[in-house]
A and B are shown apart, each in its own frame.
Chain A
Amino acid sequence: MIAEQSAVRLRFVDKTGLVSLRDGRVLAKDLPRGLTLYDEKNVPEAVRDSFRSFTSEEEGFSDTLYVVAEAGLQKGPPLRIMLERTRETFRGRIAIYLAKEAQAEIRALAIDEAKTLVDDTWDFFLAEGSSLVFSTLSAYEEESMARTRRRAHVHENATLSLDTGALGDENAHQENRFFLKGRKARARSRSVVLSAKRQETVVKTLMAHEAPATESLIEHYGVAADESFLAFEAATRIEKGMKKSSARQKNHGVILGEKARLDANPLLYIDEYDVEAAHGAAIGRIDEEELYYLMSRGLTERDAQMLIIQGFLAPLDKLVEETDIERAVRGLVTEKIGR
């Protein structure tokens, strides 16, 4: 289903770590130039120190993988990371470090067929002037529980663009926390969630403006079908003195079925006058007029609904460009709500 060339496979097998790190040479062959992988033992001290404030002792990760982009790296082909899981209680952490002025793109894919308990942490450190485009798609089995934490420190003039798509049948809890730590740091977080059956999904995204002239955007897109429950919590905090900052939030949701529930709580905490901020939420059922219009041209109700939902999830197309993944995504959408 998914192209494997140049994909880095991290097989989480036991507490000692990642198998693919053990035969790191094989991995290194597929790595885009300028990117290096380290484990806890061989990671450079400076990189490990950068992440020190992210972690507390209690977190107790089973292992950490470091991905490091060297200073001044020009954007090349994306690094593809594929996550597989064969054991239930692995708590993995992937720490992505961009040195000054580095540019990189990373795409991660997590699709498991076993019922699992997922507990992943992604930490991002973007040094001055760096830029990262990160996207991740996940689809786990029903009865899985996926807990995903993403934390980012974005420094002066650095830009982080993060896209996540959750299309599986698992119950999920996602927590995204972005700290804009330097002047003109920018972060955009876009989450797309498709929930169906009796799934429960909570997505929390926090943007903390801790420097002046910083910019943030939170976008949440969701479809809640059947008896599922989906909640979006968007919080943006602009501290006093962080003048000329700009913050925006968008929450868009479609509810399918009488028993589905979708909540959106957009929050802005602003302690500074000289800022721009906007938030909005548009949640509702499929518009009757849209449905009627499409059906008046001959589309069946089901086909019309599917077209409207596919259109609503158009941001997913930007997330995945590879045609095979795109096809897989469309297949998942049809399978989940097109029954």
Chain B
Amino acid sequence: MAGLRIENLHAEAEGHRILRGVDLCIDAGKTHAIMGPNGTGKSTLASVIMGHPRYKVTEGKITLDGEDVLAMTTDERARAGLFLAMQSPAEVPGVTNSDFIKAAMDARREGEKNIPLFRFIKQLDDAVAALKMREDLPHRYLNDGFSGGEKKRNEILQMRMLHPKIAILDEIDSGLDVDALKIVGDNVTAMKDGKLGLLLITHYQRLLDYISADKVSVMMQGRIVKTGDESLMKRIDTEGYDWIKEELGIEDERVVPDDDERVFLEKCATKEALE
């Protein structure tokens, strides 16, 4: 069946083993949500699928419609149809959104002519309006000085312009207020065309109020530990994750080293550091 297949995926970063045997299928036309506490490897999984240079795959397989994804470079993965809406996308001063998006669209038209300029402008204007973004977005520098919410919407705008086969949305809901969440949810739902495979990574049930999921999985200790339907997510929303840990005999669910996650004030603001 068409889609993304992940088998027994192991990956590490700077000597830390983070993914420890992920098995996951995202079928074309289906939506799969992954939930889980902080530091259990969800975002790492998204980055590894896209080929982030920081991570090294040590074992396992990823295929897209049967093609070996791990043998591809990041740009080849994108052109093959993978898309990752990032949690914190890079800011690129000097490069305008429209130059960037046009270059990305042209890159997908291998062997074909570049997209005609007027068609591109029309599509981009429509996408800006649909996501209720500032009209000058095409001329603004890529994510430069964008608020958290604007960055997230800009990710969805790119997804809309690029028509991926499989889209991974990494905590697209974090930092969005209710109105923005609804705009993002409606836009993503409108892109479901029976062919798009979606992987939603989230902490909260509220994203699934706007984008319905066919399957829900829970990630702990760098692998998928439980899979069910939306009722699983509802139970997590009311009871948290402890019952799953208890059921599976998991004591420490985390695999991502602490200092990768956040910096605590007491760690950096020492007197020595100030001196």
CA distance A144 to B50 in the complex (A): 46
CA distance A197 to B75 in the complex (A): 28
Among B52, B79, B94, point to the contact of A298 (Cβ < 8 A): B79
For the complex formed, measure the closest distance between the CB of A297 and the CB atoms of chain B, giving whole angstroms: 4
Do B53 and A288 touch (CB < 8 A)? yes
User: How many residues from A make CB contacts under 8 Å with B?
Assistant: 23
Contacting residues of chain A (276-323) with chain B, CB-CB under 8 angstroms: 287-290, 292-301, 303-304, 307-308, 310-314
Do B94 and A296 touch (CB < 8 A)? no
For the complex formed, measure the closest distance between the CB of A289 and the CB atoms of chain B, giving whole angstroms: 4
Do A303 and B107 touch (CB < 8 A)? yes
For the complex formed, measure the closest distance between the CB of B91 and the CB atoms of chain A, giving whole angstroms: 8
Tell me if B178 counts as interface (CB < 8 A to partner A): no
Do B107 and A289 touch (CB < 8 A)? no
Among A292, A300, A314, point to the contact of B94 (Cβ < 8 A): A314
- Collect the chain A residues with CB atoms within 8 Å of residue B75's CB: 295-296, 298-301, 304
Do A310 and B86 touch (CB < 8 A)? no
CA distance A296 to B84 in the complex (A): 7
- Collect the chain A residues with CB atoms within 8 Å of residue B191's CB: none
- Collect the chain A residues with CB atoms within 8 Å of residue B101's CB: 297
Residues on B facing A (Cβ under 8 Å):
50-53, 73-75, 77-79, 83-84, 86, 89-95, 99-101, 103-104, 107-108, 141-142, 158, 162
Interface residues of A, dominant DSSP: helix
Residue of B nearest to A306 (CB): B103
Do A296 and B78 touch (CB < 8 A)? yes
CA distance A314 to B73 in the complex (A): 28
Q: Which of B84, B93, B103, B142 has the most CB of A within 10 A?
A: B103
For the complex formed, measure the closest distance between the CB of B14 and the CB atoms of chain A, giving whole angstroms: 14
CA distance A312 to B92 in the complex (A): 9
Do A297 and B78 touch (CB < 8 A)? yes
- Collect the chain B residues with CB atoms within 8 Å of residue A314's CB: 93-94
Interface residues of B, dominant DSSP: mixed
Do A298 and B90 touch (CB < 8 A)? no
Provided the pairs A290-B90, A299-B75, A314-B94 are in contact, do residues A307 and B103 lie with their beta carbons within 8 angstroms? yes
Among A290, A299, A301, A310, point to the contact of B104 (Cβ < 8 A): A299
- Collect the chain A residues with CB atoms within 8 Å of residue B100's CB: 294, 297, 307
For the complex formed, measure the closest distance between the CB of B146 and the CB atoms of chain A, giving whole angstroms: 13
The contact sample of 21 A-B pairs, CB cut-off 8 A, is A292-B53, A292-B74, A293-B86, A294-B92, A295-B74, A296-B75, A296-B77, A296-B83, A297-B83, A297-B100, A297-B101, A297-B104, A298-B79, A300-B75, A308-B95, A310-B95, A311-B92, A311-B94, A312-B94, A313-B94, A314-B93
For the complex formed, measure the closest distance between the CB of A326 and the CB atoms of chain B, giving whole angstroms: 14
Given contacts A297-B78, A297-B100, A301-B75, 5 further A-B contacts (CB under 8 A): A293-B92, A294-B100, A294-B104, A296-B84, A297-B107
Do B92 and A290 touch (CB < 8 A)? yes
Do A310 and B94 touch (CB < 8 A)? yes
CA distance A317 to B84 in the complex (A): 32
Residues on A facing B (Cβ under 8 Å):
287-290, 292-301, 303-304, 307-308, 310-314
Provided the pairs A298-B162, A300-B107, A303-B107 are in contact, do residues A293 and B90 lie with their beta carbons within 8 angstroms? yes
Do B86 and A298 touch (CB < 8 A)? no
- Collect the chain B residues with CB atoms within 8 Å of residue A289's CB: 90
CA distance A312 to B144 in the complex (A): 13
Do A307 and B99 touch (CB < 8 A)? yes
Do A299 and B94 touch (CB < 8 A)? no
- Collect the chain B residues with CB atoms within 8 Å of residue A295's CB: 73-75, 78
Do A287 and B90 touch (CB < 8 A)? yes
What 9 A-B pairs are tightest by C-beta distance, nearest first?
A: A311-B94, A311-B95, A297-B104, A298-B78, A314-B94, A293-B90, A298-B107, A295-B74, A295-B75
Among A290, A292, A297, A310, point to the contact of B162 (Cβ < 8 A): A297
For the complex formed, measure the closest distance between the CB of B26 and the CB atoms of chain A, giving whole angstroms: 17
For the complex formed, measure the closest distance between the CB of B139 and the CB atoms of chain A, giving whole angstroms: 12
Do B92 and A298 touch (CB < 8 A)? no
Do A297 and B158 touch (CB < 8 A)? yes
Residue of B nearest to A307 (CB): B95
CA distance A332 to B90 in the complex (A): 27
Q: Which of A288, A304, A313 has the most CB of B within 10 A?
A: A304
CA distance A294 to B158 in the complex (A): 11
- Collect the chain B residues with CB atoms within 8 Å of residue A294's CB: 92, 100, 103-104
- Collect the chain A residues with CB atoms within 8 Å of residue B91's CB: 290
Do A299 and B90 touch (CB < 8 A)? no
CA distance A307 to B101 in the complex (A): 11
CA distance A293 to B103 in the complex (A): 13
Provided the pairs A293-B89, A294-B92, A295-B73 are in contact, do residues A311 and B141 lie with their beta carbons within 8 angstroms? yes
Provided the pairs A310-B94, A313-B94, A314-B94 are in contact, do residues A299 and B89 lie with their beta carbons within 8 angstroms? no
Do B94 and A303 touch (CB < 8 A)? no
Residue of A nearest to B92 (CB): A290
CA distance A303 to B51 in the complex (A): 18
For the complex formed, measure the closest distance between the CB of A176 and the CB atoms of chain B, giving whole angstroms: 24
